[in-house]
Amino acid sequence: MGSRVAVVVLTGAGTSADSGLATFRGAGGTWEGYRVEDVATPEAWARDPALVWRFYQMRRAGLGAVEPNAAHFALARMERELHAAGHGFTLISQNVDDLHQRAGSTVLAMHGQLLQLACERCGTVTVDSEHLDPERFVPCDACGYERLRPDIVWFGELPKLLDEIEAALAACTHFVSIGTSGVVYPAAGLLARARERGALTFVNSLDQPENLHPTDRFLPGRAALVMPPAIERWLVEWMK
């Protein structure tokens, strides 16, 4: 075996677009008719929890109608094969859907998860895919508080798992960005940080993301079409 590789992959909404989930920006993406500040900030939750809850309940219910696509499965295979051969692999996702997990990946879900609810009073995080009524809040089983919130990182809040992400980045030899517009920080800064530490960098997206640099290898096109053959090639090349 050649030298050890440590691959870090960062995914965004474009990775799930081929499964039928809308992106936020670019390529026709919208926030499903909502303004960000009305549904994805702690201020919105404090001001109008019923509106925010309805928005997230719709998105939580929508997960039942979608399946992982070929890009999710190819990344899960990449993780299995690299780990089996003693290499490093870390998948970081900004996505709050559970499609990576369903495809078999281990994920650092830095913006939270739709299928988790969190108690603002006692801090308990609950996995829940059953209470999907848009008009009913879910109480906390642990402390009885009447209204769990979506366990989602909203604008103005700190992303999760930053220590684990730092550790992966510090060892990274190859960095792959998939389906993210490169505008939301700190996620958007990971590509430049990997580049600075000498990693080879690869970027797939439909539109050129804002954080693309001339030294990145850009792979334009739909993730479900572009990523499986790219991953196939990399596994052969990187594990020589």
Burial letters for 26-40: b for 16+ Cβ neighbours within 10 Å, e otherwise?
Answer: beebeeeebeeeebb
Instruction: Kindly name the residue from 72, 100, 111, 174 that is annotated as catalytic.
Output: 111
Q: How far apart are CA 191 and CA 178, in angstroms?
A: 11
174 is an interface residue for ligand OAD by CB under 6 A: no
Query: In what side-by-side order are the strands of the sheet with 112-118?
Result: 125-127, 112-118, 149-152
- Annotated active-site residue 72? The verdict is no
Specify the residue, 27 or 118, whose C-beta has the smaller distance to ligand OAD: 27
Given a contact cutoff of 8 angstroms between Cβ atoms, the answer to whether 143 and 124 are in contact is yes
Task: Restricting to residues 210-229, name those near ligand OAD by CB under 6 A.
Answer: 222-223
Residues β-bridged to residue 217 = 202
Specify the residue, 7 or 153, whose C-beta has the smaller distance to ligand OAD: 153
18 is an interface residue for ligand OAD by CB under 6 A: yes
Distance in Å, CB of 193 to ligand OAD, minimum: 17
Task: Restricting to residues 86-145, name those near ligand OAD by CB under 6 A.
Answer: 94, 96, 111
Q: How far apart are CA 149 and CA 138, in angstroms?
A: 8
Which positions touch ligand OAD (CB under 6 A)? 12-14, 17-18, 23-27, 29, 40, 94, 96, 111, 152-153, 179-181, 184, 204-207, 209, 222-223
